A and B are shown apart, each in its own frame.
Chain A
């Protein structure tokens, strides 16, 4: 039982982690809460559903189409909405509200287009899961865990060792200064949105293969991702991994000992506790209230 709970926690954590690294990448460069990240997460599986079941494309192609759509969607939001707003000198709060608006519009578009019921991307024949240390996991769940570890590692190595990563970190640190030394912060932001959105799309697709999809799935995923980012510390992939584990474990132990309906409330209690006692999270830098 214990190993099964831990295994379930790991599965949940890998999902949160995937959303969190994408969201965190965008947040640490663009410096505002991109709520519409949630709808990018939802859009990928729905587009894949459209192309697989309705257009009859092969499954693998539909999966790729889903990720590409997510990438394009995130990029378009940056180009059509956030960039014009930023050039008007909009604050982080204005960007946050605009992205909340985008989220609401697109979520309802998905509702109208596909209906609110739970949909499955592909009905997988039910097989007995694989036994790992006495816990039962499906192949898909193992793949999800593997993929999230891989994405985290690749992103971490890219940010820390490559030139592109260095430029992204420079823009995140100070866009004006980065521009002054020859970086194109507008383009960097666009790429960041695209990359972060691709990760959200991947996370959405993996989750929908496991438990199906509905139009509001992105909101919960986003909130868990946001909590993961804050608890882990902005801009820290290691922190996000730790936080995802903490949240996954807390939730699943809550389900085991208390009951499942309180699992989300407990996550937000963790968030509030961190905001009060350690707003910089596990591995983040201190939050600056004012700068000169």
Chain B
């Protein structure tokens, strides 16, 4: 039972991440490989605040989101002037730089040693220390993320994002300052990813840089694409599929060393197959990138 709850909690955390990326990739047509970097920023910010200053969970989440948004401007203002695959490469570079910081800035992040002993969240005196309680909280955050993405994308703001995705020059010709819209979408996406990071840090109570590698970014991209980019439930479906499928492998009885590789083989292969057979994703309606 605990194990099942654990999986559902993981699904919720990844659902927040995939929703955050979908706002960019699915709705605005901006593929970012830096989602794990913002996820890590959130996790490290709230973990460090909690461990070193005893800050509460709520403060940690908000601080993580604030840090992530500020950093997102440093990345997005210059790189969103670039187009398509150049933007992908710029976010890739940023992801590598942040990973390097997580991994090498020993004084702050303790590098590969990681940060142990992150306290479990306490919200208004409610100590979240069982799986069930944490699940309730994670589900609340996930619903918040989906509601935020839904409200944003069905508003006039979202319609401009869709216009940018379809034809940016056309949106500009209608007098839209597309850079401003893209920068805002990037900031919201970074904030949501950071929120997922804080949740993760306070759930596992230990973080190290290996959770925030470029492979993690690609996993989130796979979730969005396999589920269906640009649709409301697509990212959730993707998160469910890509979290539970590898867990199912545990019961096949493979040695754990091979299981990790097999997990990546599965999502890599799914990525290729989806691109070739069903670029809309399982439940999506928007033909991704064409």
Contacts and interface: CB of A to CB of B under 8 A. Distances in A.
Interface in A199-252: 223, 226-227, 230
A261 B109 CA distance: 15
Contacts of A107: 264
A287 B265 contact: no
Contact of B89 (A84, A271, A290): A271
A194 to B, nearest CB: 20
Nearest to B29: A93
Contacts of B78: 272, 275-276
Interface stretch (B9-17, B44-52, B53-61, B79-87): B79-87
Interface stretch (A6-14, A41-49, A108-116, A138-146): A108-116
B261 A112 contact: yes
Interface string A174-187: 00000000000000
Interface residues of B, number: 45
Interface string A98-139: 101111110111011000000000000000000000000000
B191 interface: no
B169 A290 contact: yes
A98 B275 contact: yes
Given A102-B272, A105-B268, A287-B83, A265 B101 contact: yes
B122 interface: no
B276 A269 contact: no
B146 to A, nearest CB: 23
A94 B290 contact: yes
Nearest to B170: A290
B1 interface: no
A271 B290 contact: no
A81 interface: yes
A232 to B, nearest CB: 14
B258 A112 contact: yes
A90 B88 contact: no
B94 to A, nearest CB: 7
B290 A89 contact: yes
- Tell me if B's interface is mostly helix, strand, loop or mixed: helix
B218 A272 contact: no
Contact of A97 (B81, B215, B221, B258): B221
B23 interface: no
A215 B275 CA distance: 25
Contacts of A84: 276
A92 interface: yes
B269 interface: yes
B281 to A, nearest CB: 12
B97 A268 contact: yes
Interface in B257-277: 258, 261-262, 264-265, 267-272, 275-276
B272 A81 contact: yes
B225 interface: yes
Contact of A105 (B92, B96, B269, B276): B269
Contacts of B276: 81, 84-85, 88, 98
A256 interface: no
Interface string A56-95: 0000000000000000000000000100110011111110
A152 interface: no
Given A112-B258, A268-B94, A100 B271 contact: yes
Interface in B214-234: 215, 218, 221-222, 225
Nearest to B279: A94
Interface string A252-292: 00000000011011001101100110010000000101100
Given A104-B268, A108-B264, A275-B82, A90 B275 contact: yes
B268 A32 contact: no
Contacts of A111: 261
A33 interface: yes
B90 to A, nearest CB: 5
Interface in B147-201: 168-169
A276 B268 contact: no
Contacts of A92: 84-85, 289
B288 interface: yes
Interface of B: 31, 78-79, 81-86, 88-90, 92-94, 96-97, 100-101, 103-104, 168-169, 215, 218, 221-222, 225, 258, 261-262, 264-265, 267-272, 275-276, 279, 288-290
- Minimum-distance CB pairs A-B, first 5: A104-B268, A101-B271, A101-B272, A265-B100, A268-B93
Interface of A: 32-33, 81, 84-85, 88-94, 96-98, 100-105, 107-109, 111-112, 223, 226-227, 230, 261-262, 264-265, 268-269, 271-272, 275-276, 279, 287, 289-290
Given A85-B275, A223-B96, A287-B82, 8 more contacts: A93-B289, A94-B290, A98-B276, A101-B267, A104-B215, A108-B261, A227-B93, A287-B86
12 contacts: A32-B85, A88-B290, A94-B288, A94-B290, A100-B271, A101-B222, A101-B267, A102-B268, A265-B101, A275-B89, A275-B93, A287-B86
